[in-house]
Chains A and B, each alone.
Chain A
Amino acid sequence: MFGLKRGSAADLLVLLAVWAGLLLLFGQLSAGFLSPATLGSVANRIPALLLVATGMTLLMVTGGIDLSVGSLVGFCGTVVGVVMVDWGWTLPAAVACSIAVGLLLGSVSGLVSVKLRLPSFIVTLGMLEVARGLAFLAAHSRTKYIGDTIESLGTPIAGLVVSPAFLCALLAVALGQALLSYTVLGRQLVAVGANIEAARISGIAVDRPRIAAHALLGALTGVAAVFNCSRLGSADPNAGVGFELSVIAAVVVGGTSLLGGRGSVAKSFLGVLIVATLEAGLVQAGASEPLKRVVTGVVIVVAVLADTWRRRD
């Protein structure tokens, strides 16, 4: 699958088994869990997560990270709201604006971090505040109701069980994995994350792939912001608070290293499924919000621990 190596295929199977285990477990715990309705709602929840997790994987492979994606979802969503409600533009134009804004802010983070040699952790922590502030400024701190036009993206297509948003996210995952496995840029991302000095000496212009990864993640976050609006039918400047943590959790559960040099979009996809199923399942099983957070937190650490142990010789 996607030109992955044998060891990687084994990793995928383990993740799939964990996911299947979760489905069975929650199926046992609450009778209605394995119904089309619940699964449909999981599928509906995850497009934004999938898109951003794909971009985040590509960035984390280089050894970078972006903490501002939650705020970017908020700000880009506000842009969609302003463009559609205040200016009366069409949905495609709003999508283009959202992507452009995401791309711009992602590139800014990338340029500042790479060219000025600051850790991306710090730069994007700053961007987290900046983008959230911009969201409130642009929206005058009010939620804008957009309505049916945008909701249609998140509703299942007649005849299919899944929504356009979900299909779009799947496409992004496939393209993301292909980029990582089959392209020169993908190789460069891995090389830069694995050993940036060796990559430089090998003749790779090391700044370019790193900035590209930030920019790409920004653009994907722009798309994710649209899907997030479509779930609510409105643009909320508060949207996406804490979203970055869900994304990073999913990517890490998928086995991507925080230190760079190792990662797979396909595995992040399964990471997203696991995290989303866990959250939906806990809700269904009647767990309270605080309890849900406790369990999710523990599961993330255990998943990474298991991954580390499996890698040890």
Chain B
Amino acid sequence: MLRAEHLTKRFGSVTALADVSFDLRAGEIHALCGENGAGKSTLIKLLSGVHPHGSYQGRFELDGREANFASIRDAQAAGIAVIYQELSCIDEMSVAENLFLGRPTTRYGVFIDRGAAERRAAAALARFGVSLDPAAPMRSLGIGQKQLVEIIKALLRESRILILDEPTAALAEHEVEVLLAILRDLRASGIGLIYISHRLEELAKIADRVTVLRDGATVASMPIAAADPATLVRHMVGRDVAELYPTRTARRGPPLLQVRDLSVAAAGSGIRIEGVSFDLHAGEVLGIGGLMGAGRTELLSHLYGAWGRRSAGRVTLDGHRLDAGGPDSSLRAGLALVTEDRRRYGLCIEQSIGFNLSLSSLAQVSRCGVVSRRSEALRNDEWFSKLGVHATGLDAVVGRLSGGNQQKVVLGKALMTAPKVVMLDEPTRGIDVGAKMEIYALINTLTESGCAVLLVSSELPELIGVSDRILMLHDGRVTGTFSREQATPEVLMKAALGTAVVHTDAA
């Protein structure tokens, strides 16, 4: 029903899409994969009219007729709806109000008819087999339920093509099943779905066909039966995965960071981290794994002094007590943190690379409160080239860089403080493979120079590929410690789910 031919889209000198063709049949789920920056989101923005017709080359055909969208509204009118990862529902309103957002049920065209809206909403929810109270405030819903409301909202607008951008990224296991069941129903009713996901095992359950994009071009398109995960990864990455992770060469030294029986409570709620102990040695990468909500980010934030109240436990860094006094005292003690959400916690996005790089080291590049331009430039230049940031220069605005280069700037800012222990929270999230490999190489260099690295990652292959040892958390407790040799995805997953508490000799 939908056919896209020879799409090419350029942003300045960057080609985001190069001659991509794509088609979708009615009653089909067509999966789209590729690394971040491969062109998936650009393709979707073309499809949904975010980038209007004329700003790109190529053409669209809908039901055999040429269809080019000048605006988002155009695409919606043609029956194309996108469910983005970041949901656009309004928390302050009820489920019914959200369902009919922008098209309220009115009496005499003026007064909102709440009762009628709720009756219609109830009917719609029932039709899709979703048991939700239409009068319930959106705020009270879980992410999975909100997503369902978004999908139903799109369907109520007579959408025939539904594009889902990583719909399961934030969902719990049982919510995923509910969602997939609904998507299958939709497929049976003749709706075409484009499904974007990084979870390859999920694709096998739901998709009919898979198209892989890399560097803005289609590298493969095949029926799902032919697409086993290894093949997909090879297409996505363009090389075998084994080469992704560099050989670790650093020697393990004495313990640098020692955590004993650490329990931390969140402000206002209960204990979030309980009885966590570990040693982190110089020259070592200790991976921390676990599911969302296991307390990984909380652990790092607390050690850094940016989160939670310590109820028990002792932390020492290089023999000195570390009391989570705050980011400034942690940095002075030699502990640096690279946060998971770099736009929110990492960068001043409208400022220059240089401004961001030196932000944590202002005391080192100044005298009597006056910044020495020379010593600042010297240090900035050093890290700019060490990290291989691709930009016109230190004056370039950080917000205009790619995710990978932004991440390098955040890393540079942390490393410029010459830390003894570096904590990395999802350091490769949302960046392309090339930049990932550079960051892995950087981790190697760091440990060779005697630094210790604490690495949180949700990607098991990365955790296994980069860490010397892996600590698994479940519900704020340690459920296992594994050496690199012992760590297989299966074993780690078991520990992540908290089904078995494993203590090996790796500690």
B371 cross-chain contacts in A, Cβ below 8 A: 182-184, 186-187
> How far does the alpha carbon of A186 sit from the alpha carbon of B369 in the complex, in Å?
9
**A261 contacts chain B at the CB level, 8 A cutoff:** yes
Any chain A CB within 8 A of the CB of B197? no
Does A104 have its Cβ within 8 Å of any Cβ on chain B? no
B-contacting residues, A185-216, CB 8 Å: 185-188, 190-191, 194-195, 197-205
Q: Does A5 contact B (CB under 8 A)?
A: yes
Q: How many whole Å from A31's CB to the nearest CB in chain B?
A: 46
Of the candidates A3, A184, A185, A203, the one having the most CB atoms from chain B within 10 angstroms of its own CB is: A203
User: Chain B, 346-371, contact with A by CB distance < 8 Å: what is the 0/1 string?
Assistant: 11111110010001101100100111
- Indicate if the CB atoms of A201 and B327 lie closer than 8 Å: yes
Give the interface size bracket for A toward B.
20 to 34
Instruction: Decide yes or no whether B413 CB sits under 8 A from chain A.
Output: yes
Contacts of A185 in B (CB 8 A): 369
* CB of A267 within 8 Å of the partner chain: no
Interface string of B367-398 (1 = CB under 8 A from A): 00111010000000000000000000001000
- A187-B359 contact given A194-B349, A198-B346, CB 8 Å threshold: yes
The minimal Cβ–Cβ distance linking B328 to chain A, given in whole angstroms, is: 4
**Contact yes or no, A183 B370, CB < 8 A:** yes
Residue B262 interfacial (CB < 8 Å):
no
Residues of A contacting B413 in the complex (Cβ-Cβ under 8 angstroms): 202
CB distance from B298 to the nearest CB of A (A): 15
The 8 Å CB contact of A202, one of B332, B359, B373, is B359
CB distance from A151 to the nearest CB of B (A): 37
Indicate which residue in B347, B349, B355, B360 contacts A203 across the interface (CB closer than 8 Å).
B360
Q: Which residues of B contact A194 (CB under 8 A)?
A: 348-351
Interface residue? A45 (CB, 8 A): no
The answer, among B344, B350, B362, for a CB contact under 8 Å with A187, is B362
The one of A182, A184, A199 in contact with B348, judged by C-beta atoms closer than 8 angstroms, is A199
Task: Tell whether A262 is near chain B: CB-to-CB under 8 Å.
Answer: yes
Neighbouring A residues of B373 by C-beta, 8 Å: 3, 182
Please determine whether A195 and B328 come into contact, CB atoms closer than 8 angstroms.
no
Complex alpha-carbon distance, A185 and B371, angstroms: 9
Q: Is the CB of A204 within 8 A of B369?
A: no
B36-49 Cβ-contact flags toward A at 8 Å (1 or 0): 00000000000000
Interface membership of chain A positions 258-295, coded 1 if the CB is closer than 8 angstroms to chain B and 0 otherwise: 00011000000000000000000000000000000000
The answer to whether A184 and B362 touch (CB under 8 A), given A202-B327, A204-B328, is yes
Q: Which residues of chain A are near B360, meaning CB under 8 Å?
A: 202-203
Q: Which residues does chain A contribute within 8 Å of B344, judged by CB atoms? A: 195, 197-198
List the A residue with the shortest CB-CB distance to B328: A203
B331 adjacent to chain A (CB < 8 Å): yes
Interface size class of chain B, counting residues whose CB lies under 8 Å from the partner chain: 20 to 34
**A184 B339 Cβ-Cβ under 8 A:** no
Q: Bound complex: CA of A5 vs CA of B393, how far in Å?
A: 13
Query: Which residues of A are found within 8 Å of B366, using beta-carbon distances?
Result: 183-184
Nearest CB in chain A: distance from B161 CB, A: 31
Q: Which of A182, A186, A195, A200 contacts B306 (CB 8 A)?
A: A200
Residues in A neighbouring B362, C-beta threshold 8 A: 184, 187-188
Q: How far is the CA of A262 from the CA of B346 in the complex (A)?
A: 18
Tell yes or no: B108 within 8 A of A by CB.
no
- Closest chain B CB from A272 CB (angstroms): 25
Q: Which residues of B contact A186 (CB under 8 A)?
A: 371
Cβ–Cβ < 8 Å partners of A187 in chain B: 355, 359, 362, 371
Interface string of B315-348 (1 = CB under 8 A from A): 0000000000011101110000101000011111
B351 neighbours in A (Cβ, 8 Å): 190-191, 194, 261
CA distance A197 to B395 in the complex (A): 22
A203 proximity list for chain B (CB < 8 A) = 327-328, 330-332, 360, 417
What B residues does A182 contact at CB under 8 A? 370-371, 373
CA distance A195 to B359 in the complex (A): 12
Smallest CB-CB separation from B365: which chain A residue?
A: A184
A205 contacts across to B, CB distance below 8 A: 326, 328
Beyond A201-B345, A203-B331, whether A190 also contacts B355 by CB under 8 A is yes
**From residue A84, how far is it (CB to closest CB) to chain B in Å?**
35
The B239-263 residues at the A interface (CB cut-off 8 A) are none
Closest-by-CB residue of B relative to A313 is B400
14 contacts between A and B (CB under 8 A): A3-B373, A5-B395, A184-B366, A186-B371, A190-B348, A190-B351, A197-B345, A198-B345, A199-B348, A201-B345, A202-B359, A202-B360, A205-B326, A261-B351
Q: Contacts A191-B355, A194-B351, A203-B331 given; 20 further ones with Cβ under 8 A?
A: A3-B373, A5-B352, A182-B373, A183-B366, A183-B369, A184-B362, A184-B363, A184-B371, A186-B371, A187-B355, A191-B351, A198-B344, A198-B346, A201-B345, A203-B327, A203-B360, A203-B417, A205-B326, A261-B348, A262-B350
Instruction: Give me the 10 closest cross-chain CB pairs, A-B, nearest first.
Output: A194-B348, A203-B331, A203-B328, A202-B360, A202-B359, A203-B327, A184-B362, A195-B348, A184-B366, A203-B360
